[in-house]
Amino acid sequence: MPIICRYLFKSMYRAKRLLSLKRTSVYNNDMIKLSAAKRAIWRRIIVILVILILLFYAVIGNLIVSAALVPSFMRRLDAFEKITEESYSQMIYTDDITENTRLASAETKTWLAENPPNTETLVNEEGFRLVAAIFRQPDRQEHRWAVLLHGYTGWKEEMYHYAVHYWNHGYNILCPDMRCQGASEGDFIGMGYTDSYDNLLWLGVILKHDPDARIVLHGESMGASCALMMSGMEELPENVVCVVADCGYTDVRSIFRKQLKDWTSLPDIGITTASRLCLLARGGYDINRASALEAIGRSSVPTLIIHGMEDRFVPPVMSSRIYEACASEKELLQVPGAGHAQSSYKDPEKYYRTVFAFIESH
């Protein structure tokens, strides 16, 4: 009997242990399956979050590109009017600037009535029709030319008040409407980068009619940065003898970041990079390559850099950086009390005296 009891006890103990081990194994398998399910859920959540983040950047990047660089979209948003209104609101309105602006406008109107421009057109390699106004001196003997380059969302007529002074110094003048602006066609506003290649074509037009031309590039804001970018190009003809850069920005990426903050108050948490990639994907250009600062480091063209010290659009420090980086003969004119593109109105006598003294020395 004791032997039978011991046998039954051992059998029961083994059965209980086997049952316990089986339950533990099932439990462990269940836990493994549950852990795998949780990991799968988290993977899905992470993938969804990444897709949503990418979609956000794609949408915001495309929106910024369209709102800042595509005129047809900008018109739907009334962006041109808003930019113009903001530009005027940020200007400096002192009595001397207001009066000098009025006098320059009246002088330009009178001069234009006496010297109507000829309109020239050309088609660039991308098939866009570009337009420029040309003013030719009657004697056509001096071979002096000034190419006047307007600013962002501007047009050639904005540069006519400079043209008056160049005309009075015996210069022939070419004022282009840059890509997507004025009467010129295009896909994206070039911010001076694609315009630099377009403007090489305009230099070719001048040289076709006047192979001995001596050319000054004088730009304002975006036009200034364009002139600086051109100064570092290997293709730039030796006929270009001077650059005058009034309130130009160092590079497109930096001015994008600055304007993004000003217009939207959004921090640049990758938004500029998203805009760059969207612009590239849409067949545009690389804003990282659009750098006046880099170009001026390769330049051998004498360069006069001008900036109003109260500029609220393009920080004056940008011109200081351009001046420091400039590898060619250079001069810096800083105009106290002048806002964006207002240096010629704040102190016109000093402005044009400095411009033409610098040009004539070359």
Retrieve residue 101's tokens.
Answer: 């602006």
pLDDT digits (tens, 9 = 90+) for 105-150: 999 999 999 999 999 999 999 999 999 999 999 876 679 999 999 9
Res. 268: pLDDT tops 80? no
Q: What is the DSSP string of 226-291?
A: HHHHHHT-TT--TTEEEEEEES--SBHHHHHHHHHHHHH----SSHHHHHHHHHHHTT---GGG-B
pLDDT value at residue 215: 98
pTM of the model: 0.86
Q: What band does 32 get if pLDDT is binned at 50, 70 and 90? A: low
pLDDT higher at 155 or 11: 155
pLDDT value at residue 75: 78
| Cβ within 8 Å of residue 222, ≥6 positions away | 149, 150, 151, 152, 154, 178, 191, 192, 195, 248, 249
pLDDT higher at 75 or 98: 98
Average pLDDT over residues 324-351: 97
Report the chain's terminal Cα–Cα distance, integer Å. Answer: 126
Range name among 7-16, 28-37, 71-80, 162-171 with the lowest pLDDT average:
7-16
Strand partners, 154: none
Determine what percent of the chain is predicted with pLDDT higher than 90.
Answer: 65
Retrieve residue 72's tokens.
Answer: 């047809």
pLDDT value at residue 21: 46
- Identity of residue 7: Y
Q: Are 128 and 186 in contact (CB under 8 A)?
A: yes
To the nearest whole number, what is the mean pLDDT of the chain?
Answer: 88
